[in-house]
Structure 1
Amino acid sequence: MSLPILNAEQRSQERKGIKCVLLGNSGVGKTTLLHSLNTDSTLFVDLEAGDLAVQDWQGDTIRPATWSEFRNFAVFLGGPNPALRDDQVYSKAHYDSVCRKYGDPKTLDKYDTYFIDSITVLGRLCFQWCKGQPQAFSEKTGKPDTRGAYGLHGQEMIAALTHLQHARGKNVVFVAILEERVDDFNRKLHQLQIEGSKTGLELPGIVDQVVTLASLPDEEGNLRRTFVCQTLNPYGYPAKDRSGRLDVFEPPHLGQLFNKIHTGSRQPVHFETQSHGTEKQQ
């Protein structure tokens, strides 16, 4: 058996999926961006039961109501993790069990994108489940242990989101509410609204793209919805572009955004020379 090396041509022919976190304040129109995706090839994972904004959506929808049900959907959508034992969630045994329940996984071949709205609500479902697990109770007193519940919550959320991140060939959009707060120094901060801190801190490192949908003034001073796509932006919004193909601001259209990531030209990388003679990437 030879070493399974992929050359550049083989890698270029692989179907690549984009994993994206879509952030925005409540009411800015995150869910309506579902209309900017292809109806036939997008699966809407509706966790908020708040699809009034997209009640005319003609595509397919699933509605997980509990954390256990979402984990079943996650392994069905993402496939099994061969590194896990049979008694673990997302293992081959878990996947086979779910396939017997939901049917042939080839029915998912039609989908290019999973639109998950929202992980803010998903975090609440997860935390509710965690509060009933043994880790959420003190071994000595049997009383509820909030630290144990939050610790389990962080592990469960990251495991689920990472599993979906490995859904090769699929675009996955994780929608989340962005909240603003002011720190002790009167500085405005933006952060993901979700139970606990672990998910909010680690999620940006898991995905390829972090995009904030914001209402920003145009050249005439009129507010318009805009995607903020790069970390260095004048408003301090959370953003990240691993593709290197996006401008700081992009039109609020997910289909166009994905197309540019796949086919656009990479932005030039600039370096500045520091006083000690080494180069620093901008």
Structure 2
Amino acid sequence: MRVYISIDMEGVAGIVHGDQTRRGAAEFGLACELMTHEANAAALGAFDAGASAVLVNDSHGDMRNLVFDLLDPRVELLTGSLKPYSMAQGLHDERFDLAMFVGYHGGAGTQDAILDHTYRGNVVHGIRVGGRVLNEAGLNALVAGERGTPVGLVTGDASTCAQCRELLGDIVTVEVKRAVGRASARSLHPVRARELIRAGARQAVDERARMQPFVLDSRALEVDVLTTAIADAVAIVPGVVRTGPRTVAYAARDLDDLFRALMTIVRLGGTVI
């Protein structure tokens, strides 16, 4: 049984401010260790429940955050960037029995969610597929679902867990903190958070038979960007159509085409001054 874990940083216990999540900041090293231990807790829970292989995808920032030798030696790690499928790298071309999203955060505009954003906070205000608003968990679950892989576990703050249950259905969620504002929260102690994540991962694997892949029939992509200047830039991409002052659309042929278009929009948008 093969399990996939995508690990982000903003949803990790004790993380509340952007300064903690940026390379070079005083607290960044500690944040990387906290992130690594939560990824490892999920992996240990999967192994407890009988997983034969676990692939962890470092999914934050430059994707070189995890302290590899703090992970269980049975784990394989996807690290570094650029990755064509970013946070979902590996899900697009391999079949896993279950996917887990650890340390995730709410989508852009989510109230009472720590550091809410969708893929790139200085570019994207919202993403829709077939008219349905998707956060990062939803977009990555769509990639997993294309190959029949269900999402079984999401961990993060209370609002993120609620958002993902509403979007992905009856999954296991582990709430490690409750936001007071966008950059303040009441958090569990990291050790307690890891205990709950390990138990949640074990439960998700044990109950995987009831988990359903997340699928959408539509391949119509819409992206709301933060500024008209970003919209000016990304509308140059072949196939991208500007549908509003800060909105662009793309009619994708398939999910691979959709995701590559999305990554192009996000990355090009990030170059606009």
Do the structures match in fold with TM over 0.5? no
TM-score, scaled relative to structure 2: 0.34
Bigger Rg over Cα: 1
TM-score, scaled relative to structure 1: 0.33
